[in-house]
Amino acid sequence: MKTVLAETRGLPAAKQIEDIVLSTPIVDIHTHLYDPAFRELLLWGIDDLLVYHYLVAEAFRYLDSPYEVFWSLSKTAQAELIWDALFIQHSPISEACRGVLTTLNLLGLDVKKRDLPALRRWFAGQGVEEHITRCMELAGLKQIFMTNSPFDDLERPVWETGFRRDERFVAGLRIDPLVLAWPEAAPRLALWGYRVEAGAVSQKTFDEVRRFLANWTRRIKAHYVMVSLPADFKFPAKDVITRLIEEAVLPHCREHGLPFALMPGVRRAANPQLKLAGDGVGLSDLTVVQSLCAGYPENKFLVTALARENQHELCVLARKFRNLHIFGCWWFTNVPYLVDEITRLRVELLGLSFTPQHSDARVLDQITYKWQHSRRVIAQVLVDKYAALAQTGWHVSSTEIERDVKDLFGGAFERFCGG
Ligand code: RAT
Ligand code: ZN
């Protein structure tokens, strides 16, 4: 009765909106997961869930052992320490801890038993292929973007040897060392047969970098080129980075019709003793994004900023430049409180022309929790926004809600990349 009354007033029932948001298939546009052909590079299971770098950082809030002692332990022993510190000695209420429990619960495991050996036995009984299918079904994903770096010594040989692709996994060409550490990257390119100079870069070097990018784009069938940028990144600047971007990366992206994806805001190695868990966040100068979007209107830019304080400016930039598509709430912003705030900000400034979330999952099973948590927050934002429309007398049909949610969960991204 309530629903009928609500609908006659033009207000779609909250339940109906939630159902659509919870069931619409998603393209996860940035993860660190791999096609199963990469074998052990695709992380999954309880121990990998527990040693996720988000949890390592949190565990050290409680652990008092020296960092080296922790790193000298096996993965199993590290996982046991983290389990004890974060789940047994304290209640696991942080987002990353809650994520482990949501994941186990979605997989049908009984978390209240707090039985780590039993959890390990259950995961040991799973086959990777079936587990991928199961996790993708639980998360409602139709496609997963990988992060593929030719500079990764474990990953590169797999591409070079070749393998039969799993169509659910698509590639993103990650080039951080090329753009951010040219003096070290140049000798590696030279070793791989590209005639580049590390010092005074010439047109020949730019041509060879483009040949390198073109070869890898073709080899992995890349859908975009991506780089994570430090918070203090400057562009344009009088340095080799600017020249490489202007003379090699951007022309390459134009020639191949690929967006250039930027993730500004990281402060690498704020505490190097924490290794992968030791990076921090900093406010970025987003005039970098403005200069790129304004200076290169023929290029397309995908951008997600790490700092909360950059979100408003990034939305405003997206209102100015249609070659900019903003996406995701990652790492320190992927907490419900900020996903809610950032998604509301984006909807209010950009309507539906952005991609609210990507998982950034490093462990396969995480897609289940990251998407369930995000879907719930996004659903609540939409419930409020459609209710506000209804108050004006505007009616939104369920077909229109489905269309809108499809756009948020991959449709707008695909149009942006393809158009
Ligand atoms: O969110 C993360 O796991 C970070 O460590 C980074 O990987 C970040 O997502 C990136 O792609 O650089
Ligand atoms: Zn990432």
Instruction: For residue 362, give the ligand 1 atom closest to its CA.
Output: 3
**Protein residue whose Cα sits closest to atom 2 of ligand 1:** 331
- pLDDT tens-digit readout, 176-205: 999 999 999 999 999 999 999 988 789 999
Q: From ligand 1's centre to the CA of 335, what distance in Å?
A: 15
d(CA 173, CA 226): 6
Instruction: For residue 226, give the ligand 1 atom closest to its CA.
Output: 11
pLDDT of residue 2: 41
Predicted TM-score (pTM) of this structure = 0.96
Please report, as a single letter, which amino acid is at residue 390: A
Residue 410: DSSP 8-state: I
d(CA 161, CA 37): 11
| DSSP state letters, 308-347 | GGGHHHHHHHHHH-TTEEEB---GGG-SHHHHHHHHHHHH
| DSSP state letters, 167-209 | TTEEEEEE-HHHHH-HHHHHHHHHHTT----SSS--HHHHHHH
Q: For residue 3, is pLDDT > 60?
A: no
> Could you give the dihedral angle defined by the CA atoms of residues 195, 197, 202 and 208, in that order, rounded to the nearest 10 degrees?
30
- pLDDT tens-digit readout, 86-126: 999 999 999 999 999 999 999 999 999 999 999 999 999 99
Residue 114: DSSP 8-state: -
- pLDDT tens-digit readout, 243-293: 999 999 999 999 999 999 999 999 999 999 999 999 999 999 999 999 999
Q: For residue 6, is pLDDT > 60?
A: no
Residue with tokens 């003096």: 183
Confidence of residue 11 (pLDDT cuts 50, 70, 90): low
- pLDDT tens-digit readout, 120-179: 999 999 999 999 999 999 999 999 999 999 999 999 999 999 999 999 999 999 999 999
Q: From ligand 1's centre to the CA of 360, what distance in Å?
A: 6
> How many beta carbons lie within 10 A of that of residue 10, not counting itself?
16
Q: From ligand 2's centre to the CA of 361, what distance in Å?
A: 8
Cβ–Cβ < 8 Å for 7, 13: yes
- pLDDT tens-digit readout, 361-395: 999 999 999 999 999 999 999 999 999 999 999 99
